[in-house]
């Protein structure tokens, strides 16, 4: 399916709305100010001035309004340093189910994994709602756009709380295995939700080699294997992974806010010296078992915090 995106000025937009007025359709999506459907083209106009044309007549209709119709769906070169599977040239414009996780390097709080399906016709809308490479986004910004995204995409978020994490970790599960199982579950849930629609590809932000990943899953009853691709920096390769990354992060932040209330102190992220100090305060105020209940106990921070407790 062909598609074109043009950007119009405030003056030009009403002309487009008037022109396609008799073909108007209702599309209640955030950021959309007007939508129409002709015999061979869907037209979606956004508040920002972007207009998306999709379908067999996309080039022709877009050319009515713009002298320099841009060709979208060009091959996106892999960002430097990305490793993993070789993706199709037009990967960024395909319907993809992506997944990513967060919280794995944070002493406090859960691990969260999100999977998210973005179909080719939702890509512009998702970008319009503010999805960029999440590594460039602030926590506040991600929290601000997450609700709109949740209305548009089909997603699943898995949160593994500290009690469950510590339990399986102490049984010898590696973080890799824990992540693989959560990714697999999240992907499975989204596939069930979008059924009978099937993504063209599944892209996992790579944290293990393919062989290792599937080895982690060997005891699972339902292993999502079909169409699965792996790449590092996958949030730059498809908006579905960038969106998954945002939803995982926002779930992590929400859990951190809740745990901060329970702990009576704002819990720092990461695993640095500030984390040791706050952990030490928490042991003094609420005891060691409470600290364990909100942390990944096997991190070196546990011992460092205990040292601080007995030092003073």
Closest separation in Å from C-beta 205 to Mg ion: 4
What 273-278 contacts at long range (C-beta under 8 Å, 24+ apart), as own/partner pairs, is 275/107, 275/108, 275/301, 276/301, 276/304, 276/305, 276/308, 277/305, 277/308, 278/108
Stretch near Mg ion under the rule CB under 5 A, chosen from 4-12, 187-195, 205-213, 246-254: 205-213
Helices (H), the chain: 13-19, 58-65, 123-128, 139-152, 162-170, 175-194, 210-216, 239-263, 273-286, 288-293, 301-311
By rule CB under 5 A, what string of x and - marks binding of each residue 231-270 to Mg ion? Answer: ----------------------------------------
Q: Does 205 bind Mg ion (CB under 5 A)?
A: yes
Decide if 295 contacts 162 (C-beta within 8 A).
yes
Nearer to Mg ion, 9 or 80 (CB): 80
Q: Minimal distance in Å, beta carbon 135 to Mg ion?
A: 10
Residues paired with 156 in a beta bridge? 115
Q: Which is nearer to Mg ion, 61 or 100 (CB)?
A: 100
Binding mask 19-58 for Mg ion (x = CB under 5 A): ----------------------------------------
**CA–CA separation, 29 vs 229, rounded Å?**
30
Q: How many residues can be counted in the chain?
A: 312
The smaller minimum CB distance to Mg ion, of residues 16 and 118, is found at 118
Give residue number: closest CB to Mg ion.
205
106 lies in the site for Mg ion, by CB under 5 A: no
Name the site residues for Mg ion (rule: CB under 5 A).
100, 205
């Amino acid at each position: 399916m062909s598609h074109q995106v043009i950007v119009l000025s405030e003056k030009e937009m009403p002309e487009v709305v008037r022109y396609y007025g008799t073909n108007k359709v209702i599309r209640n999506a955030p950021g959309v100010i007007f939508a129409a459907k002709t015999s061979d083209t869907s037209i979606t106009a956004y508040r920002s001035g972007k207009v998306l044309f999709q379908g067999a007549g996309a080039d022709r209709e877009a050319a009515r309004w713009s002298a320099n119709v841009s060709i979208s769906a060009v091959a996106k070169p892999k960002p430097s340093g990305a490793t993993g599977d070789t993706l199709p040239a037009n990967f960024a414009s395909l319907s993809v189910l992506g997944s990513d996780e967060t919280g794995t390097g944070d002493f406090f709080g859960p691990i969260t994994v999100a999977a998210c399906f973005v179909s080719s016709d939702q890509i512009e809308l998702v970008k319009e709602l503010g999805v960029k490479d999440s590594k460039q986004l602030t926590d506040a910004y991600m929290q601000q756009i997450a609700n709109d995204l949740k209305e548009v995409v089909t997603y699943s978020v898995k949160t593994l709380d500290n009690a469950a994490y510590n339990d399986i970790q102490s049984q010898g599960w590696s973080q890799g295995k824990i992540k693989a199982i959560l990714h697999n579950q999240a992907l499975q849930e989204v596939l069930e939700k979008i059924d009978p629609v099937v993504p063209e590809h599944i892209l996992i932000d790579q944290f293990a080699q393919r062989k290792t990943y599937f080895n982690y899953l060997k005891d699972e009853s339902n292993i999502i294997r079909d169409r699965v691709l792996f790449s590092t920096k996958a949030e730059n390769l498809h908006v579905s992974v960038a969106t998954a990354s945002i939803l995982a992060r926002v779930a992590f932040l929400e859990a951190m806010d809740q745990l901060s209330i329970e702990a009576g102190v704002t819990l720092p992220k990461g695993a640095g010296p500030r984390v040791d100090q706050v952990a030490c305060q928490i042991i003094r105020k609420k005891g060691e078992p409470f600290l364990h209940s909100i942390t990944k106990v096997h991190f070196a921070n546990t011992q460092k915090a205990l040292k601080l407790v007995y030092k003073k």
